[in-house]
Structures are given as C-alpha cells and as structure tokens.
Structure 1
Amino acid sequence: GWVDVMYAGTDATEVYGQPQRDHAELWGLFFVLFMLIGSFFILNLCVGVIVDNFNKIKAQGQSLFLTQTQQKWIELQKQLYTKKIFLEFAHVKDLPISRRKMYFFCSSSRFETFIMVCILLNTAVTGMKIFPPPSEAYKATLAVLNYIFAFIFTVEAALKLY
C-alpha cells in the first residue's frame, strides 16, 4: 500500500544511495496530505459525476430506476388513488328517495372520515390488549370498546348494502 511507499520516501537519501531510517520526515507529511486531499478530491469528483448524471436524467423526465412502462403504470396508479368512487350508480335519481339519501350519506367525506377514525381507534384498542391485564376493569373496558366498534362496523355494512 501507500504506507510502504511513504516509508521508502522518508528513508531515501539520494538516487541509488543507501536509505537511512527517517532521513527526511517531512516527506511523511507530504504523503499523508496527498492521500487525504487526493482521496477527498476523487471521492467528490465521483459523487459529482453521479449526481450530475442523475440530474440530467431527471431533467429529461426519465427515471434512473424505472422503465417507461413502469412510469406509465405509476402515473395510472396515482390517478386511480385520487379517484373517489370507482363504480358509480348510473341511475341514482331513479332510486327511491330513502336509498338515494343513504347513498349520498355513505359516500360523504364526513361519513368516510368517521369510519376511518373508528378503524384507527379500533386498531389502537386492539393493540392495548396485554397479558395479564392490569385489572378486570381494564379488560372489561377493552371488551366494551370492541363491541362498540363491532356495532359501528356492522351498521356501516348495513347502510352501504341498503
């Protein structure tokens, strides 16, 4: 490695001359600085080239890791996720008024937000079950909350099926 070359440089006295241990110690400082500065320079140069090429590819609208077909698929998935209702009734106005109101109620953002909050809370309650339970009241509270969430989800299913 470079350390052997550094030792040979510090021990050198003259061309074709007998080496003397630590004859010119300043050469050691030169070798250390050369290795540090040189390695950082090469590292920065390589990283700069990689980042520059990545930015060029990104500016062209391409991806470094995805093919054109994969990019189109991702764009299609983004469009699907932004769409709220995938299959909408064709003749909502032909439904009886009670079913029409129920449809709009179940499709409203407030109802969906309420159900999503219930799902998150139910997940938290499910995660709070521990063994052994700290007390019977704790165990009973979790059971009651599970029954409440089961009732809410059953009502949701019934409303959406109506």
Structure 2
Amino acid sequence: MRNHDSRHPVTVPSDRCGYKGLDHTRFFVNGFITCPYGDGQEVLDSVLALPRHHAAYITAEKLDVQFYNPQTTPILVKCHWEELFPDHMIPLSVAVPLLLEKEVPCWTWSQVAETWESMRSYFLGAPHGARSSLFVSQETGQGIKKVWETLIYTGMFGPIKV
C-alpha cells in the first residue's frame, strides 16, 4: 500500500493505493468495473504499474458495452489469486501471511493495539459476518482472529484500545 495513513487505511481501490482515473465504480468479489469518462487509458496504465505480488496479480481490460453514458469507457479490473479453495475462498495459508506482511511492520509506529472487533472489517472485507465474508470461510476467519489476538496480546502494538 502506498501513502500509508494509519488513521485512514485504504480499504477499496483508489488513487491512494495506485489506481488512477477510477469513476463510477462498482465492486465485486475479486474485481470491479469502473466507468471513467474518456478512453480509460489512465486506469489501464495504473493497473499495469501496480507492483506485482506473489499471492495474486491484477489485470484490466476495456469492455465493449455501454452501461449508462456513451462518453464513458467501462473497464473490468480483476484480481487473479494464485491459490484459492475450490469454493473461491482465500485459504488460511494465504490470508495469514498477507495479514502478517501488512500488520507486523506497524509495530514500529503503533501506539495502541486494535481489537478484532475494530479490525475485522479490514481483514475480512465487506460485507462480512463475525468471522467470515465473501472472501474467507468461517474456518479461515476464525484462524485470522486467533492470529490477530495472539499478536495484540504480545503488546507489540501498545496497550489494547478499549
């Protein structure tokens, strides 16, 4: 994630995390459609410029349809996971390393540890339940919760915020 702001974390694709030119965007599981005015080249170029990750890669393509305005160009942006369960859920073996990759470095500047209740929407995605979402199963969500609670109880992020 670019331009990290601990008070306002990025939770959806935007210019804050490398996507340029998004407009009239609708999100789906593992992708979204955006309909910027003009030819949409700024979106396509920004997707190509995103850093590659070994767990998943992002693609973008123009769609040959008109959704609502002839002056816009619909673009489909998709996340292609290297490893998913047959039900298209992210396995615990992928979810936990991704969580650790993003959250452990925060110990150097964190002042308080956020509880599962305040962090689960960031970890599970939206919409979500207590331990599952469109992205992770109940079992994976429970595993993520256990790992997160283990981390915050070490004190590495500071006192637990209540």
Structures share a fold, TM > 0.5?
A: no
Please identify the structure whose Cα radius of gyration is greater.
1
- Greater per-residue strand proportion: 2
TM-score (norm 1): 0.20
- Greater per-residue helix proportion: 1
Q: Between the two structures, name the one with larger relative contact order (CA 8 Å, sep ≥ 6).
A: 2
